[in-house]
Amino acid sequence: MPRKLAALASVLSAGALLLTGCANPSTGSAEDDPSKPVTLKFWHGWSEESEVKAIDASIARFEKLHPNIKVKATGNVTDATVNQALRAGGNDAPDVVSSFTTNNVGQYCSSGMWVDLNPFMKKTGLDKAKVFPKTLLDYTSYEGDQCALPLLADAYGMYYNKDAFAEVGIKRPPRTMSELRRDAVKLTKRTKSGGYQRVGFMPNFRLYQNSPDRLFAQWGPSYFGKDGKARLAKEKAAKEFYATTRELIRSQGGYGPLETFRTSFGDEMSSQNAFLTGKLAMHMDGEWRGLFMKGAKFKWGTAPLPVPDDRPETYGRGYLTGTVVGIAHSSTHQNAAWELVKFLTADTDQVVAFANAIHNVPSTKAALTSPKLDSDPTFRAFLDIAQNRYSTALPPSINGGQYVTSQQDFSYGVEAGKVHDLDAGLRKLDDEIDADNLQAQN
């Protein structure tokens, strides 16, 4: 959804704010009585009319269960704005905060600006391991500090044009990378002038949601070693990933022609989206894309992304991310704030209702299997991806999403043919990530 793009755009500015002047956030209190009348301030990033309507409905359900707690919600708030307010503290700061940027959880936890929720869960008997999938717990914690909880999730998979598949005699979506390359070539259709009418699968990293870390997840890579140091140069998966994307590009005409075609695409969230208009036969995207496909003039389906040829047992996996929510360290109403966080994240009926309303993946084990969940089979594919034991999320880091940005910049050079020595390039990338992490610690 549009919020995904806003989240990506705010990563660097949010990270910069977290890394400067935030070591001693304003201290709040967890001594309040949650049964007493109180008004909580809840800041979130949702801005689309349907999304705001859904979050307001969630708050109304909470207030009905907790008539003594009123919630004043403020939407369309960026991470940068939240971080400024939490550093300043005081009466104007929020009590409950959410973020679309899971990459920043390491900073939220290590800076102390979001409180550790483990004591609240212990006090109220919430067993996080029983409630939430492990991967979602991993991206909401840092070094044992559970400073956030998942508030719906996003899973990445493949959208494919069934009519285009039938046209060239392909009977099912590709399951391995070699099948993806073979099918992409078959599905690519040229114009008489030599341009493209349709591309089978465009791996270009600047395309819509094609951030390199998302396709890279199909290899299940380890970004950091046990010592905390970046280890992409030591990852066989990294070399295989870049070799695969290079071959996908080469076999469909080369980077230059594909990039020229990409620049002709309409806006991702518009009716001119390249998959919706038939310019892409296969496309990586999240579960929310289904909401935008109602006007499609062709039959389409969803499936997991392919996996490396030597790991067929991992088929069904995908990249996971999502919204996170926590309690501001400066809040003087932390027990009441926990009641809201607990309701939004762990109440099964609430999680299902919210997931159905904004077409996101539920973030609890019970909600993922609820019979009340949207039964649309194209949505169900993403539920399966979210529950697949091989699915992965990005590891938290003290410097937030900076290492992801470094990998993106490196990947742009690889796909454009500017990185001639991949091993040396990956070693340099590791050094850059380690230097950024060291700076964040000082």
Asked if CATH classification 3.40.50.300 holds for the domain at 2-154+321-387, the reply, yes or no, is no
- Common-topology check for domains 2-154+321-387 and 156-314: yes
- Which helix (DSSP H) or strand (DSSP E) does residue 280 occupy? strand 280-286
Pairing of strands 69-74, 38-43: parallel
- In this model, does residue 27 exceed pLDDT 90? no
Q: What is the pLDDT of residue 26?
A: 61
How far apart are the C-alpha atoms of 9 and 310, rounded to whole Å?
Answer: 36
Instruction: Please give the average per-residue pLDDT across 398-404, as a whole number.
Output: 85
Instruction: Give me the helices (H) in 206-235, please.
Output: 212-216
Per-residue model confidence as pLDDT tens digits over 319-337: 999 999 999 999 999 999 9
| Res. 25 pLDDT band, cuts 50 70 90 | low
Q: What is the pLDDT of residue 92?
A: 86
Identify which of 107, 145, 94 has the alpha carbon closest to the alpha carbon of residue 12: 107
Per-residue model confidence as pLDDT tens digits over 335-351: 999 999 999 999 999 99
Per-residue model confidence as pLDDT tens digits over 201-255: 999 999 999 999 999 999 999 999 999 999 999 999 999 999 999 999 999 999 9
- In this model, does residue 2 exceed pLDDT 70? no
- In this model, does residue 24 exceed pLDDT 70? no
Instruction: Please give the average per-residue pLDDT across 271-299, as a whole number.
Output: 95
Phi-psi region of 143 (alpha: psi -120 to 50; beta: other; left: phi over 0): left
Q: What is the mean pLDDT of the chain?
A: 92
| HSE-CB of 257 using CA atoms within 13 angstroms | 17
Return the domain boundaries, the chain.
Answer: 2-154+321-387, 156-314
Q: Which class is 156-314 in CATH? A: alpha beta
- Considering only residues 151 and 23, tell me which one the structure prediction assigns the higher pLDDT: 151
- In this model, does residue 21 exceed pLDDT 60? no
Per-residue model confidence as pLDDT tens digits over 59-108: 999 999 999 999 999 999 998 898 888 888 788 899 999 999 888 898 89
How far apart are the C-alpha atoms of 97 and 115, rounded to whole Å?
Answer: 11
- Cβ–Cβ under 8 Å, residues 117 and 137: no
Instruction: Please give the average per-residue pLDDT across 289-303, as a whole number.
Output: 93
- Start-to-end Cα distance in the chain: 36
How far apart are the C-alpha atoms of 283 and 296, rounded to whole Å?
Answer: 14
- Considering only residues 2 and 316, tell me which one the structure prediction assigns the higher pLDDT: 316
How far apart are the C-alpha atoms of 186 and 93, rounded to whole Å?
Answer: 56
Confirm whether pTM is higher than 0.85: yes
- In this model, does residue 13 exceed pLDDT 80? no
